[in-house]
Structure 1
Amino acid sequence: MSRRAAIATGHELTTEAAELILREGGNAFDAVLGAYFAACVAEPVLSALMGGGFLMAHPQQGKPRLYDFFAQTPRSKEVQGELDFRPVLVDFGSVQQEFHIGLGSVAAPGCMPGVTAIHCDLCSMPLREIVQPAIDAARSGVRINPLQAYLFQIIAPIFLDTAAARAIYASHAESSTIIQADEVLRLPELADTLELLGHEGSDLLIRGEIARLAAEQCRSTGGYLDYDDFTGYEVKLRSPLELDYRSARIWTNPPPCSGGLLMAFGLDLLQQQVASTGWGDRQALLTLAAVLRGTASARIESRISDEAPRVDPQKLLSPVLLQHYREELSDVVKSFAGTTHFSVIDSKGNAAAMTVSNGEGCGSIVPGTGIMLNNMLGEEDLNPCGFHTWPTGQRMSSMMSPTLIQMADGCCCAIGSGGSNRIRTTLLQVIRNLVDYPLSLKEVVRAPRLHLDEDILFIEGGFDPDALQVLCQYYPQHRLFEGRNLFFGGAHCVRSGPAGVEAFGDPRRGGSARVM
């Protein structure tokens, strides 16, 4: 069967943008950038022009490479006047979480430098054509689907924090509430910005007028960033963290990001266990939960979160540390963050896995542009040593781990997920399902998941009741979810092989997919 193309994203409009670009002759990298721009319109809680992210790229001719364009700490801690950094309480229903917003929470954004590097190195279409589907959507409007409405409801205090944000994201019916499901979100200022970007290039947001506007807004209103933070940002082209899991070769995000490294540690532990246990049975569940606990403990023991900018992979993957947790695992077995992902494989064999984030947004809009700035300096997950303790001018760490997999049978998979600190556990379980069990891509992604955090085991609905009962006895501190939940990430996956292609977008996070 001839090779075809496959796309998986977190929104139908995002998928449509990538599909249109492929149909017009673009490659996987054109399509993944088109998906990103469309997500800034259709998934504004999760994606924005001044956020950060990563692309794992595998050109048909060449080796996998990782483009790191994640957020960077400011070059100076000096602030003019009072720091604009304040807490907001976000309501997830059963639990509340405190985030910090304001212009003092904005880190140096990397998305536009990332677009520049990716477009220069890998793309085949003019930028104005890549961005056009997003422009059209921003002008005509996007009808808010139930998932986006739910996300807006969660972060309403942030997206209603300033008059400029309220003018864009408030409900048409009641200006004091956030936009609701089935309302149409129109973004004329963002459309104008995207149109300018298409004609003038992404330098507009790096050294041009919009970069100057954003820098002036931050410096004059309690933020850390200045113009040099925008102009001095450099994309890092990194060699992926490469590992084998059973018969599969995996490429994922290397340090200074910790997500790929922790996933590699967990897969190494799993690799020592027999793969023949049935999916979701008692043995498989106990093994998986023990691996999650071992990985969390090893993260603390290796102090990986305290030394993120200088992480040595050998520290976590040392034979001594691995053997300790293998033995512990053997004993056990016997006894919302704002992130979205796009996966694309084209008919030529190019593969792209791109994950982006704007944090939750800082609440402030760059005047006249429709762009909400990020709040990466206000995310506890990204600041494990405490707020305002960051070293200046350094890349921030992240759990985002866009990943490529080469299977023994010739299949190539591109995967990634949103979900903050659940990303590593989501991807570990998806990779295990892909490699260890004869499942379709739909079954791989839809399978229920576990996550362990601070000794509490979070359990998604759908596991075998008998196996679940045993698991809960081993982990008395647990929380059960009735069904599938976005808490457990959103793994958007594509797979290409001798028999053709598959694509599946995770329904937990609005998944949309297309095979061409």
Structure 2
Amino acid sequence: MKGAVAAGHPLTAEAGARILAAGGNAVDACIAAAVVSWVAESPLTGPGGGGFMLVHRARDRSDRVLDFFVTVPGRGLAAGEGGEMEAVDVAFDVEALQTFRVGAASVAVPGTVAGLAEAHRLYAKLPWAELFAPALETARKGVRLNESQAVLHAILDPVLRYGAEARRIYGEDRGLGAGDVIPTGDLGTTLEVLAAEGERAFYEGELGRQISEALRADGGRVTDEDLAAYRVIRRTPVRAAYRGREFVSNPPPSSGGVLIAFALRVLDVAGESGAFGTPEAISSLAEAMREATRARAGSFAGDLYRGGLSGRLLSETRIREAAAKIRAAVRDAVAEPAGAPSTTHVSVVDAAGNAASLSASLGCGSGVVVSGTGVQLNNMLGEEDLNPDGRAVPGRRLTSMMAPSLVLEQGRPRLVVGSAGSIRLRAAILQIVVDVVRHGMSVDEAIAAPRIHLDDGRLHLEGGFDPALAGALSERGYDAFSWRERNLYFGGVSAVALLQSGALQAAGDPRRGGAGVVVA
């Protein structure tokens, strides 16, 4: 087998598979898939956002995270210069609205193009321009919305159609629905420029100037100096043992990876009991989630930017304290900030055993599309959980919950996984790892299996569990809420598994119309 790809859209997965079939490695395939996702999954990702790629290189069994998340803009500007963000309500789940801040003032300095270029320099085999070919073809044909995408468009409609240029693309009088085609001509032109000129076009060239000038004219703070100064950071991933395997993920200053690692270690030390979907198994998971949320309290947000957080959080003493609480099952209400469902993920393994796990996002989007470019821009400055300090020092990296991850066995990838879902992606990844490693599920089974999420003392149970489960958990003291059916509220996982036999499995999340492709 030449490899496998899992992603948030069939066109995204097929692009990665095409590159593997052409002799590309895992990173080549991941880059090509990511660029197609800009076209096929435009509300979720694009050159105007940021993200992370975790790469495992088989020849030396090394793991590295490329951090290309967004930074605070404002180089060359006076403090307070620029406009104000505008509040927009987004119905990101069935129970509540959340207010996001959008507009040009919400845009942080994008890093995605730089990140893919850095990955190409370090790891790729095929020419840069060749990796853009699938996306250029997709842009020329246009993308017809499927049912899952239509749901996302409906959720994000107040943002997608916020600005005049955005309305031209996503619908003047009404939002796009299932079967409608997204106009991708301008984005196709931008892809041609990036394929020919590389990242310099975005950070030092005319394309970058178009973006900064459009934002500055509308009250934004992204300047030419911000774009020219942007750099990708190479990071050492966080690691944690779980049931004889090693979980590897995105380190601080992002929070998702270290919190998943913490929850897995706590489960390992506390001991897990019960088959999948039983009250015992669900209780263990819920309490591990609760302990991970407790770990975010106090100085956690500031500690993400200080050295040593991973070591302190994953210390034997801290883990044993949390494990003791799980065994005692102390239940209290711990709330987390909600988030929009605006992330996508690509997982790839190639024939040589190299692996790439990429998560990228626009936040919920700023509602700003730069005229003539098709580039939709992020709103990361407007998301309080990412930017709690408001306008921080220009150049500062924002934190993120995104957690592209691997599970290694004897130094070799067994699972490549990540998820969309904002704050809930942490719970989704945790459950996939537990379902595959502990319960022995295939990735198809694990991704299709119902999930839970604990928030503010309420235990959400996705549709698909035994109807008696909610009552059994209520008897254990939980405020259990049963959903009628499967829902994108519970994340959007893309995962590839490499079995002991050498066989590959790949699956995207049906909650978001994802897909997996194994290349023979």
> What TM-score do the two structures reach when normalised by structure 1?
0.94
Decide whether aligned partners of structure 1 residues 477 and 380 sit closer, same or farther in structure 2, where only a CA change above 3 A counts: farther
Contact 1:106-1:376 within 8 A present in 2 as well: yes
Q: Secondary structure at the match of 1:382?
A: coil
Give 2:358's match in structure 1, choosing from 329, 339, 354.
Answer: 354
Q: Secondary structure at the match of 2:415?
A: strand
Query: 1:148 and 1:56 mapped to 2: Cα distance?
Result: 26
**How many residues end up aligned between the 2 structures?**
506
Query: 1:116 and 1:86 mapped to 2: Cα distance?
Result: 33
Aligned positions of 1:261-272 closer than 5 A: 261-272=258-269
Question: How much has 1:407 moved relative to structure 2?
Answer: 2.9
Give 2:205's match in structure 1, choosing from 205, 208, 214.
Answer: 208
Decide whether aligned partners of structure 1 residues 9 and 84 sit closer, same or farther in structure 2, where only a CA change above 3 A counts: same
Is residue 2:162 matched to residue 1:165?
A: no
> Which residue does the alignment assign to 1:70?
69
Give 2:343's match in structure 1, choosing from 335, 339, 363.
Answer: 339
Mean alpha-carbon deviation: is it higher for 325-334 or for 203-212? 325-334
Give 1:232's match in structure 2, choosing from 229, 232, 253.
Answer: 229
Q: Secondary structure at the match of 1:416?
A: strand
Contact 1:84-1:221 within 8 A present in 2 as well: no
RMSD (CA atoms): 2.0
Query: 2:207 and 2:475 mapped to 1: Cα distance?
Result: 56
Q: Secondary structure at the match of 2:132?
A: helix
Q: Secondary structure at the match of 1:61?
A: coil
Decide whether aligned partners of structure 1 residues 333 and 352 sit closer, same or farther in structure 2, where only a CA change above 3 A counts: same
Contact 1:309-1:395 within 8 A present in 2 as well: no
Aligned positions of 1:13-92 closer than 5 A: 13-62=11-60, 63-76=62-75, 78=78, 83-92=83-92
Contact 1:72-1:109 within 8 A present in 2 as well: yes
Query: 1:325 and 1:297 mapped to 2: Cα distance?
Result: 10
Decide whether aligned partners of structure 1 residues 106 and 79 sit closer, same or farther in structure 2, where only a CA change above 3 A counts: farther
Give structure 1 stretches of 5+ with no counterpart.
none
Query: 2:238 and 2:453 mapped to 1: Cα distance?
Result: 23
Contact 1:286-1:333 within 8 A present in 2 as well: no
Query: 2:118 and 2:282 mapped to 1: Cα distance?
Result: 42
Contact 2:72-2:393 within 8 A present in 1 as well: yes
> Which residue does the alignment assign to 2:402?
400
> Which residue does the alignment assign to 2:121?
120
Contact 1:309-1:394 within 8 A present in 2 as well: no
Give structure 2 stretches of 5+ with no counterpart.
332-339
Contact 1:46-1:358 within 8 A present in 2 as well: yes
| Residue identity matched to 2:295 | A
Is residue 2:429 matched to residue 1:427?
A: yes
Decide whether aligned partners of structure 1 residues 164 and 44 sit closer, same or farther in structure 2, where only a CA change above 3 A counts: same
Give 1:439's match in structure 2, choosing from 433, 438, 441.
Answer: 441
Query: 1:127 and 1:4 mapped to 2: Cα distance?
Result: 20
Contact 1:337-1:420 within 8 A present in 2 as well: yes
| Residue identity matched to 1:440 | S
Aligned positions of 1:100-111 closer than 5 A: 100-111=101-112
Query: 1:236 and 1:168 mapped to 2: Cα distance?
Result: 33
| Residue identity matched to 2:455 | D
Contact 1:55-1:66 within 8 A present in 2 as well: yes
Aligned positions of 1:228-267 closer than 5 A: 228-267=225-264
Contact 2:54-2:404 within 8 A present in 1 as well: yes
Query: 2:248 and 2:35 mapped to 1: Cα distance?
Result: 25
Contact 2:247-2:405 within 8 A present in 1 as well: yes
Question: How much has 1:193 moved relative to structure 2?
Answer: 0.7
Structure 1 residue runs of 4 or more that deviate by more than 4 Å after TM superposition = 79-82, 408-411
Question: How much has 1:145 moved relative to structure 2?
Answer: 0.4
Decide whether aligned partners of structure 1 residues 298 and 498 sit closer, same or farther in structure 2, where only a CA change above 3 A counts: closer
Question: How much has 1:8 moved relative to structure 2?
Answer: 0.5
Contact 2:46-2:376 within 8 A present in 1 as well: yes
Q: Secondary structure at the match of 1:114?
A: helix
Is residue 2:379 matched to residue 1:375?
A: yes
Give 1:316's match in structure 2, choosing from 313, 317, 322.
Answer: 313
Decide whether aligned partners of structure 1 residues 82 and 198 sit closer, same or farther in structure 2, where only a CA change above 3 A counts: closer
> Which residue does the alignment assign to 1:449?
451
Query: 2:414 and 2:426 mapped to 1: Cα distance?
Result: 20
Is residue 2:513 matched to residue 1:510?
A: yes
| Residue identity matched to 2:5 | I
Query: 2:219 and 2:439 mapped to 1: Cα distance?
Result: 53
Query: 1:310 and 1:419 mapped to 2: Cα distance?
Result: 26
Mean alpha-carbon deviation: is it higher for 89-98 or for 222-231? 89-98
Mean alpha-carbon deviation: is it higher for 34-43 or for 214-223? 214-223
| Residue identity matched to 1:482 | R
Q: Secondary structure at the match of 1:323?
A: helix
Contact 1:411-1:498 within 8 A present in 2 as well: no
| Residue identity matched to 2:170 | Y
| Residue identity matched to 2:294 | S
> Which residue does the alignment assign to 2:334?
none
Contact 1:403-1:414 within 8 A present in 2 as well: yes
Q: Secondary structure at the match of 1:363?
A: coil
Q: Secondary structure at the match of 1:155?
A: helix
Question: How much has 1:129 moved relative to structure 2?
Answer: 1.1
Q: Percent identity?
A: 37
| Residue identity matched to 2:211 | A
Query: 2:83 and 2:39 mapped to 1: Cα distance?
Result: 30
Decide whether aligned partners of structure 1 residues 435 and 370 sit closer, same or farther in structure 2, where only a CA change above 3 A counts: same
Query: 1:64 and 1:319 mapped to 2: Cα distance?
Result: 24
Question: How much has 1:48 moved relative to structure 2?
Answer: 0.8
> Which residue does the alignment assign to 1:180?
177
Contact 1:112-1:203 within 8 A present in 2 as well: no
Q: Map Cα deviations across residues 58-105 of structure 1 (whole Å, 9 max, x no partner).
A: 122130111000111124573786514110111244421111101110
Contact 2:269-2:319 within 8 A present in 1 as well: no
Query: 2:320 and 2:513 mapped to 1: Cα distance?
Result: 39
> Which residue does the alignment assign to 1:151?
152
Q: Secondary structure at the match of 1:369?
A: coil
Q: Secondary structure at the match of 1:256?
A: coil
> What TM-score do the two structures reach when normalised by structure 2?
0.93
Q: Map Cα deviations across residues 220-244 of structure 1 (whole Å, 9 max, x no partner).
A: 3211111111110110111111221
Give 1:496's match in structure 2, choosing from 492, 495, 498.
Answer: 498
Q: Secondary structure at the match of 2:305?
A: helix
Query: 1:497 and 1:149 mapped to 2: Cα distance?
Result: 35
Query: 1:321 and 1:410 mapped to 2: Cα distance?
Result: 28
Query: 2:251 and 2:494 mapped to 1: Cα distance?
Result: 20
> Which residue does the alignment assign to 2:367?
363
> Which residue does the alignment assign to 1:12?
10
Aligned positions of 1:405-420 closer than 5 A: 405-407=407-409, 412-420=414-422
Q: Secondary structure at the match of 2:385?
A: helix
Q: Secondary structure at the match of 2:53?
A: strand
